[in-house]
Structures are given as C-alpha cells and as structure tokens.
C-alpha cells in the first residue's frame, strides 16, 4: 500500500534509529496487555523520547486518520493498551527520566516511562515518600499509573495516584500541548483539568510529563495478622477499626480460597479452617504506630478472631505479610488463565460483597477466590479458568456480570483501580447512567472529535442489559 | 468496532485462535490439530509434538510483566520482543500460526537463558521448558551461513559432544599455549580480527597444566579401596564417597579449579572418585536446540555415574548441575513427544508423565535420570554446613556473583555465601545485583558478543563499587566471562582476582589453622 508507506516513512523520520518497530513478527509482541482474552495488532510502534516527538506522532496520526495508543509497560488489567483497531503504539519505556526532585516544594517531576518503583527508590533516598504502590509497581510506569489512576495497598490511608498528581503535560488530539496544574498546593484556576486527564486511559490526551506530590517518609512501620472463622467477623473487625478512628496504612483481606492456595504454594504455616484473614499495617511515629497496631489486635480479638499475631520486628512483619505477597502467585498457578478483577464497594458493605462474589461463583460453577484492600472496599475477585474453554469462559463472563451488578447495587463501582478499557465498557452505564455517559461522550467529542486517541476504549457505544438475578 | 467485546467471544479484540482445551490434564491440541498453516502443523513427528508442548506451556503466562525487571536483555533494550513475556507471546503466536516461526528466532537467540524470569514469575511459567522445546524446530529450519553451521557442528557437536573431543581440546589448548602458536596469534592479531569474542576469551585463559595431569585417581565402580587421604577431623559425619563431575569447558580450560575442588572435598572428609567416560552435561546442546545431542550427553553421564557407588555426584558449575537436575524433565518431554508423534494420546508432556507408562522404546531413561538427579549436588550445596578442618586466614574483601542456573534453577542462593563466610579473615561484601546475569550464558558470549558485553560492562561497574579484591564465582561460563570483564574494565590491573569458591577454600585450607 503506497499510502501506508507514506506514513511509515514519516514515522521513521520522527523516531530515532531503532525506535520504530514495523516487522509483523515484532508487532505481535505489542498486541496485548495483562488482560486475559484480548488481542490486537498495531501497524507500528514508536519509542518516543520527548514531548515534541509525541506531538509529531499525533499530528501524523491525525493526517492519516490512524489510532494512537499510548503504552507504558502493558501491565494494565482492562485491555486499555490493546490496539484493537491497529494504529500506532506510542511506547514510553525509553522516555524515562526523573527530571527533578524539589525538596523545597515536596514534589517530583518525571517523564511517563519512569517505573513507579524507581520513583519510590529515588525519593526515599532523600527521606521523602510517594505513597501509591500498585501491585505492579516494580514494572509499571508512572504514565500508566496516571492513565489508569492506579491504586495500591496504601490507598486507605494515603489515597491513589490521582491524589498525588499536582500537574501534568498532555498532548491533545490536535497535536497541541496543554499544561495543567503545577507545584501550587492550592490552584483553582478554571476546571480541574489535571483530574480530567488522570484516569482517562489515553482517550483524551497523551500525558508526557507529571509533577507528583511527596510526603515525609514515615519513620516506623508495624504489621499484624488476624484470622477469622467467618467472613462477617473479619468484615465487622474492619468496621470496628474504622469506627475506632484508626486509619491503618494497610488493611488487606484474604478469603478461604486464597488462603488455601497460598498455603499449598508457599507453606507459610497458615491455619486451616480459616474463612478470612486480615493483614494490618500502620506507619508513622513509633508510639502512635504501636498504639494503633495493639488496638487493632484487640478489636480483632473482640470480634472473635481465631488468632492474632503482632510482628515484633520489621523482619517478622515481612514474614507475616508473605501471605498477601504470595496471593496472586498462588492463585495464578492453579489454572492457565487468571482473571484479576476489582469490584469495589463502600467498606461498610464488604461482607455482603464477599458473599455476593461467592454466590455468583457457585451459581455459574466457576472458581473465584477473593483478596484485596478491605480497608477501602476494593476487592479482587480472581477467577481461575482456561481461556481455551469457550463454555467455561461464558460462565465466567456471566459470573462477573453478576458481581459487577451486585457491586453497583451495594453503592459500589465496577472498577476501583484497573480502569474501564475494553473489558468494563459495557458495564459503565450501570455505574454512570445514561446522563453520565452523555457527559463522557461530550467530553470525548470535544477533545478528540476524530476519535484517534485510543479508540474503542472507556466510552461505550451501548450498555449491556442487566440480567435480573433471583436472589438465591 | 462492536461495543460489547467480551472475553472469549469471537469479536474484534477477543482472542480466538487458542485451540480448545482438552480434557483436564490432556496436553491441548496435538500437533495434527494445530492451526492450519501454522508451523506446529507443518512440523511432523517429535519436533511438532515438542512445539505443541511449548505452545501449551505458554497459556500459563498471564502477561503480568513481573518477569520484565528480572530480564537482562529487557533491561538493556526496553523492547517487549527482548523480554520473557514478549518471547512467550511470540512463541504462542508462532505456534498458533499467526506469525512465522523463523520470525521469532532472533528474539529467542538474544535470550541469555538465565531463567531469572522463572524466579520472578507469579504464575510458575516454565520458560526454560518453552524455549528448549521451540528451539529444535527453529534449528531444523533456520538458514545459517555455512561457516556458522560448520562452527556449530565442530564446536557443539564434535568437541563438546564426545569425551574424546574434550580430551582433544585439553591437548589442543596446552599445545597451543606451549608451542608459541598462542604468542604468534596474539602478535598478529589474527584472532582479534576473525573472532573478537573468541580472542577476548583466549587472552584470559589461565596457563594450562600438562594434559596428563589427572583430577584424581580413578577408582573402578564399586571398588572400596582404602582412602588415599586420611579422613579429616570432621564433626562426626560418616565417611562418604562422592563422584566428581568434571565438565567439558571446565576440565579443558579451568582444570586447576577442578583439582582445587577435589582437594577441598577430600579435606572435608569425602572420598572422591572421578569416573572415566563422563562428558559434557548437554546444557549447551539443549539451549542450542540440539535436543537429540543433549539427550545423548545425558544418557552417557547417567550410565557412567550409575556404575559408581557414590552417595553424591558433585559438580562445581551451576549450569551443569542445573542441567543434570533437569535430566528427568528432558526425558519426560521426549517420551511424551514421541508418544504424541506416534499418534497415541500421550501422557501430559510437561513433567507430569505418570510413572509406569511404558516409554516408547521402553528404555526407562526417565527413571534412571531421576535416580541420578537425586544424587546431584553443587559443591556449595554439599559443603555449606559440612564440617571442615581449621582454615588459615584469607586477608581479602570478597564478593560473589551468583551463577544464574545455580540460583534460578537449582534455587541455591545462601549456600555459596555461607560457605565463603566460613573462611577466617575473609571480609564478605554482597554484590548489588548479584542475582542479575553477567551475560555469559553458556556460549552466549560467543553467539551474541555485543549484548553479552553490554551486560558484562554493567556487572563490572557493580563489582568495582564493592571494592572487593576477589570476585567469587560458581559456574564455568561465568568464570571465563568475568575474567574477560576484569580485564576489559581494568579491574584486573588494579588487582581484582576472579576465583571459584573452591579455589578460595582450597587456599584457606592449605594455609592451615592460624599459627599452626
């Protein structure tokens, strides 16, 4: 195709030597992310190293009407970086400098391709703290974290990525650059454009620079673990902890299936016959931390915990946290396909949500284990299946549909931290309603009238009809 | 674009080319059911069956990307195609016929094979098994330049494929160094021009002892002669006999290290025998896709060590030990592939073959391999907590570079460190990133010299930062690679020595107790 060759030549003129991938055999490696069941093939991949290059690529894409898909490390879990309509993948892996750590203003300014763990390392060396810690942080990029508004284990106390983005640069579909926010703690000049781009999954603009808020590094940390004979007891303990005005740094939940898988895999000595487990951590000044952890232990015992262990040392704390660290590994080994979802409810409805998940799994005869961030109601129902079995995959889909419906009915949401991408689009209307979707479409239309930025993602064309499920 | 893209449903964006899963435990679609036109379909027999096994193993990958930070070639290039997740997905794409098998060859070739991705993988993907079962098919089809083909046949097939080849290599190397030929070659710069990577290796080779010097006196199998060395004052451990595995390149190029290791084992109270007829472990052949040759080496070594009445089979090279511990898997895979190729519904091919299933040919190699693997021990695995005679002080700062296969395949991490720390006077410093590959990768430093050198350069910077005067190693290719690195980084001129753990212990034992 002669036309195709024209844009390709233009693209190769934009990217440096070795920065453009066009061989079909290589493009296959850029057709997926970490979401099971989705695949595409891009027409080209370009590794960008500057904002100007991104602008040029977007202008080129606009001239030739090609989709543009921004990509960090491709660890996202809702299909957001799968190039389902082909096009140009803009890869940020090589645009990965930490530009500035501003200790006077407590900010760090970075390029999108920096790994989140590298930010942690760089700021902690100076006694500073960037709290968001998604499970993928060892490899996920900050650009991806911003695009998905990623959460993590410390969300309950510290919030999520978006709570730390003070300003950003984004390339619009026109190729123009918009600069939002900055280093000002207070800044209400106009609409909150920073928040508009955070979590927009590359559909409204392509973020090329981020300024993040930092905190002082907590001086001390302590961990405790409690096991329960019933999910309700664990959920009540969570409610009691929050009601006692304790906000722990981490408050994680594992259900029986997850605990069993962890024990089979890692033999960390978890008791059997346990229905639920809570992992609690607090950080801050030592007297406060010690007091909070002791009080959480007492509250768990009052709610009938079978066993409560408080770590005596950081090493002991790490050992207790092992169960949570192994959760995904243990589950992922059971079956070929692991679908990690993130239905989320207000934390007071935690027990009801866990029960709804278990009910849906039983009804549709699929294996779903649940772990996640109990303290903020963000659960990870994780389905162990095999994508090569179409009949089972249909049951999986039906079970998740029921789970998302239950979450929405409980005042929750269809995604807490993974984003909408491809896999949740058709459920988005359940959460936002037709009016909400209308606002979404209006924003998308205003900023990307030609629909070249990550087409087919987030904004649905239609909404799934809710299946009426009789309560069992 | 349709809106309601759902998982597992044939719509744009949904993956649909995966073959249906068979009955639980069955190994997916056989080679005959593979995607039409796909390479899996165009390969018959055992190669096709191995390829189908590899494809089935790729389904365990959930594409989470946790392997990427662990991968040396991903860290260097930041390209998805040069990381484990990309390679696994490319194997899947090729096996499903979406891309050609030869299109992925270069990416697989760039893999050092350090297996750090397996350690990092939450889902337990058997990356090594995927690679080793894809490579034979690629090897079959890959167009290679005649000179390359010849070099591979001579080097991997002839020299490393036969014990005699290894003996000839020892003689050849000794003659080369003694005859003045080495001096001539260096003076003319001939090798540097022809094969720079080979030249770098040649320059750091230690001076070879005469080839008639033997590692230890060979004792015929079952012979219970009197020990030649008095049992050392040990901690009440019964006297044990070990059979020593010499290795191919190890015995040809680093022979003195073997002798040091045998001296240490004897000092530790072991009776050491070195069975004749042993050859290369076969790891090089397995990595190169020459699976038949790899099995040939395995059969030879199994037979040789079966004839020896020894409690353990000890080796000093992490890569060889890993290969020998994986012999059972090699034979299980081959057995299952042969069964599948013969049209039988073979037992699951990936390490799950049920015992008692008569193997094609009924040779019982799986069982024999298991018996050998159960006796294989790495030098540091055996000695980390074993009583040793009093040692003299080694006044040096020592750091240790993991052997990737010792760490990631054999899962031996603390033992070498603990063993070093038992040497009096020795100041042990941990090497940051010791778990990261040095770029040796068997013969990778010859096949991919540019990438190997990049990885090595970074490694030597880390070594420099430790301020160590001795860099301890536990594997043959690492030893040679780090000798090259010490030279090219200038650290050798500043006094850095690269030494196997066995040599360090040997020196400390030779000094004897302080003031004694």
Choose among B29, B27, B7, B26: nearest CA to B18. B29
Q: What's the DSSP call for residue A187? A: -
List the 264-323 stretch of B: residues with Cβ below 8 A of A. none
The neighbour count for residue B162, using CB atoms within 10 Å, is 17
Chain B touched by A393 (CB under 8 Å): yes
Scanning B279-394, the segments in alpha helix (DSSP H) are 283-287, 291-306, 318-341, 365-375, 379-383
Of the pLDDT bands very low, low, confident and very high (cuts 50, 70, 90), residue A471 is very low
Chain B touched by A426 (CB under 8 Å): yes
Helix (H, G, I), strand (E, B) or coil at A25: helix
Helical pair B318-341 and B365-375, crossing angle rounded to 10 deg: 160
Chain A touched by B13 (CB under 8 Å): yes
Distance from CA of B104 to the nearest CA of A (A): 7
End-to-end CA distance of chain B, in Å?
A: 83
Q: Which residue has the tokens 């540019």?
A: B450
List chain B residues with pLDDT less than 50. 1-11, 20-40, 218-237, 346-362, 515-516
Nearest to B59 among A96, A336, A462 (CB): A336
The token pair that represents B337 in the structure block = 């592939």
- More confident position, B180 or A82: A82
**Is the per-residue pLDDT at A124 higher than 60?**
yes
pTM of the predicted structure, to 2 decimals: 0.91
Q: Which residue has the tokens 């995927």?
A: B130
Contact A397 B64 (CB under 8 A): no
Chain B touched by A109 (CB under 8 Å): no
pLDDT at residue B42 in the model: 67
Helix (H, G, I), strand (E, B) or coil at A170: strand
pLDDT at residue B512 in the model: 82
Chain A touched by B59 (CB under 8 Å): yes
Contact A32 B12 (CB under 8 A): no
Contact B18 A387 (CB under 8 A): yes
Instruction: Name every chain A residue with its beta carbon within 8 A of the beta carbon of B60.
Output: 333, 336
Choose among A379, A375, A312: nearest CA to A347. A375
End-to-end CA distance of chain A, in Å?
A: 58
pLDDT at residue B20 in the model: 47
Over residues A88-119, the pLDDT tens digits come to 999 999 999 999 999 999 999 999 999 999 99
Helix (H) or strand (E) holding A60: helix A51-64
Scanning A279-381, the segments in alpha helix (DSSP H) are 286-302, 314-332, 350-364
**What DSSP letter does each residue of A352-373 carry, written as one string?**
HHHHHHHHHHHHHT-EEEEEEE
Nearest to B13 among A38, A138, A332 (CB): A38
How many angstroms separate the CA atoms of B423 and B508, rounded? 7
Q: Is the dihedral of CA B385, B389, B395, B400 positive or negative?
A: negative
Instruction: Name every chain A residue with its beta carbon within 8 A of the beta carbon of B59.
Output: 336-337, 386-388
Instruction: Name every chain A residue with its beta carbon within 8 A of the beta carbon of B9.
Output: 390, 393-394, 397
pLDDT at residue B164 in the model: 81
Contact B68 A390 (CB under 8 A): no
Over residues A350-406, the pLDDT tens digits come to 999 999 999 999 999 999 999 999 999 999 999 999 999 999 999 999 999 999 999
How many angstroms separate the CA atoms of B281 and B297, rounded? 6
Distance from CA of B164 to the nearest CA of A (A): 42
Over residues A246-269, the pLDDT tens digits come to 999 999 999 999 998 888 888 877
pLDDT at residue A3 in the model: 58
Chain A touched by B3 (CB under 8 Å): yes
Contact B90 A29 (CB under 8 A): yes
Contact B3 A21 (CB under 8 A): no
Contact A393 B8 (CB under 8 A): yes
The token pair that represents A383 in the structure block = 């389905």
| 8 A C-beta contact, residue B458 and residue B484 | no
Over residues A179-199, the pLDDT tens digits come to 999 999 999 999 999 999 999
- More confident position, B173 or A437: A437
Helix (H) or strand (E) holding B119: helix B116-120
Among B1, B2, B6, B102, pick the best mutation site for testing chain A contact (most A Cβ within 10 A).
B6
Which residues lie across from A224 on neighbouring strands? A280, A310
Strand pairing category for B470-473 and B397-400:
parallel
Chain A touched by B100 (CB under 8 Å): yes
Choose among A90, A54, A3: nearest CA to A175. A54
pLDDT at residue B197 in the model: 82
CA distances from B512 to B12, B164, B264, B383, B458 (A): 73, 38, 12, 18, 37
Over residues B142-193, the pLDDT tens digits come to 877 777 777 777 777 777 888 888 888 888 888 888 888 888 888 888 787 7
Nearest to B69 among A74, A139, A386 (CB): A139
Maximal C-alpha separation, chain B:
84
Angle at A398 between CA A395 and CA A404, to 5 degrees: 140
Helix (H, G, I), strand (E, B) or coil at A17: coil
């Amino acid at each position: 195709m002669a036309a195709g060759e024209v844009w390709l030549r233009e693209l190769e003129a934009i990217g440096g030597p070795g920065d453009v991938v066009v061989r079909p055999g290589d493009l296959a490696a850029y057709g997926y992310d970490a979401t099971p069941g989705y695949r595409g093939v891009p027409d080209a991949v370009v590794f960008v190293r500057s904002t100007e290059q991104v602008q040029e690529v977007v202008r080129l894409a606009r001239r030739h009407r090609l989709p543009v898909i921004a990509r960090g490390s491709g660890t996202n879990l809702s299909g957001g970086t799968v190039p389902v309509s082909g096009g140009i993948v803009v890869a940020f892996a090589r645009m990965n400098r930490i530009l500035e750590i501003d200790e006077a203003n407590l900010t760090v300014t970075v390029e999108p391709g920096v790994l989140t763990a590298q930010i942690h390392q760089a700021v902690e060396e100076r006694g500073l703290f960037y709290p968001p810690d998604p499970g993928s942080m060892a490899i996920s990029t900050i650009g991806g974290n911003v695009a998905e508004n990623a959460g993590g284990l410390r969300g309950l106390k510290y919030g999520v990525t978006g709570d730390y983005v003070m300003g950003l640069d984004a390339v619009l579909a026109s190729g123009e650059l918009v600069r939002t926010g900055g280093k000002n703690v207070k800044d209400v000049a106009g609409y909150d454009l920073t928040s508009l781009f955070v979590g927009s999954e590359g559909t409204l603009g392509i973020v090329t620079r981020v300024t993040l808020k930092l905190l002082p590094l907590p001086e001390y940390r302590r961990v405790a673990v409690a096991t329960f004979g019933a999910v309700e007891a664990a959920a009540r303990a969570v409610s009691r902890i929050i009601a006692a005005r304790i906000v722990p740094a981490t408050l994680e939940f594992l259900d029986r299936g997850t605990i069993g898988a962890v024990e089979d895999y890692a033999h960390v000595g978890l008791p059997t016959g346990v229905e639920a487990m809570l992992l609690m951590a607090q950080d801050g000044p030592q007297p406060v931390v010690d007091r909070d952890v002791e009080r959480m232990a007492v509250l768990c015992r009052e709610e009938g915990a079978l066993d409560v262990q408080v770590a005596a040392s950081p090493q002991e704390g790490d050992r207790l946290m092992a169960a949570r660290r192994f959760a995904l590994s243990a589950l992922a080994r059971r079956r070929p396909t692991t679908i990690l979802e993130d239905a989320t409810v207000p934390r007071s409805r935690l027990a009801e949500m866990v029960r709804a998940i278990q009910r849906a799994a039983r009804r549709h005869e699929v294996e779903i284990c649940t772990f996640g961030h109990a303290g903020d109601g963000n659960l990870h129902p994780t389905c162990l299946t095999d994508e090569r079995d179409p009949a089972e995959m249909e049951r999986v889909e039906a079970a998740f549909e029921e789970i998302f419906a239950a979450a929405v009915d409980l005042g929750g949401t269809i995604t807490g931290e993974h984003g909408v991408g491809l896999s949740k689009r058709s459920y988005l209307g359940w959460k936002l309603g037709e009016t909400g979707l209308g606002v979404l479409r209006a924003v998308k239309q205003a900023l990307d009238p030609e629909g070249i930025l990550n087409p087919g993602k987030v904004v649905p064309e239609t909404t799934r009809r809710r299946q009426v499920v009789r309560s069992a | 674009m349709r809106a309601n893209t759902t998982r597992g449903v044939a719509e744009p964006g949904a993956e649909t080319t995966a073959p249906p899963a068979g009955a639980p435990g069955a190994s997916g679609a056989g080679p005959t059911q593979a995607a039409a036109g796909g390479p899996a379909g165009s390969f018959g027999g055992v190669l096709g069956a191995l390829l189908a096994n590899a494809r089935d193993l790729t389904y365990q990958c959930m594409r989470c990307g946790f392997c990427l930070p662990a991968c040396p070639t991903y860290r260097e290039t930041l390209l998805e195609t040069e990381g484990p997740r990309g390679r696994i997905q490319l194997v899947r794409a090729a096996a499903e016929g979406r891309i050609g098998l030869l299109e992925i060859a270069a990416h697989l070739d760039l893999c050092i094979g350090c297996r750090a991705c397996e350690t990092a993988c939450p889902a337990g993907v058997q990356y090594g098994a995927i690679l080793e079962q894809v490579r034979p098919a690629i090897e079959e089809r890959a167009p290679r330049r005649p000179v390359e083909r010849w070099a591979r046949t001579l080097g991997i097939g002839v020299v490393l494929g036969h014990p005699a080849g290894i003996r000839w290599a020892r003689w050849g190397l000794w003659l080369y160094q003694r005859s003045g030929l080495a001096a001539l070659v260096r003076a003319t710069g001939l090798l540097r021009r022809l094969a720079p990577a080979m030249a770098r290796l040649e320059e750091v080779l230690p001076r070879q002892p005469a080839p008639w010097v033997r590692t230890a006196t060979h004792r015929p199998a079952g012979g219970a002669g009197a020990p030649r060395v008095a049992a050392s004052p040990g901690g009440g451990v019964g006297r044990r006999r070990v059979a020593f595995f010499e290795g191919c390149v190890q015995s040809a190029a680093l022979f003195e290290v073997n002798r040091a290791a045998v001296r240490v084992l004897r000092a530790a109270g072991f009776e050491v025998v070195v069975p004749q007829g042993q050859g290369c472990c076969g790891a090089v052949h397995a990595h190169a896709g020459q699976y038949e040759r790899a099995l040939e080496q395995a059969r030879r070594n199994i037979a040789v060590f079966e004839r020896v009445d020894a409690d353990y089979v000890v080796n000093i090279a992490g890569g060889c030990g890993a290969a020998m511990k994986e012999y059972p898997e090699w034979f299980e895979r081959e057995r299952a592939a042969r069964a599948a190729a013969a049209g039988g519904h073979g037992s699951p091919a990936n390490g799950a073959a049920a015992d008692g299933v008569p193997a094609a040919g009924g040779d019982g190699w799986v069982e024999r391999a298991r018996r050998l693997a159960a006796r294989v021990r790495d030098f540091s695995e055996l000695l980390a907590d074993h009583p040793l005679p009093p040692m003299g002080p080694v006044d040096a700062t020592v750091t240790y570079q993991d052997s990737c296969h010792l760490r990631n395949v054999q899962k031996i991490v603390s033992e070498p460190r603990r063993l070093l720390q038992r040497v009096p006077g020795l100041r042990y410093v941990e090497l940051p990133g010791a778990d990261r590959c040095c770029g040796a990768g068997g013969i990778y430093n010859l096949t991919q010299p540019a990438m190997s050198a990049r990885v090595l350069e970074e490694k030597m910077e880390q070594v420099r930062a430790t301020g160590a005067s001795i860099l301890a190693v536990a594997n043959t290719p690492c030893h040679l690679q780090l000798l090259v690195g010490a030279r090219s980084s200038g650290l050798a001129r500043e006094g850095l020595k690269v030494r196997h753990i066995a040599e360090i212990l040997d020196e400390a034992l030779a000094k004897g107790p302080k003031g004694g």
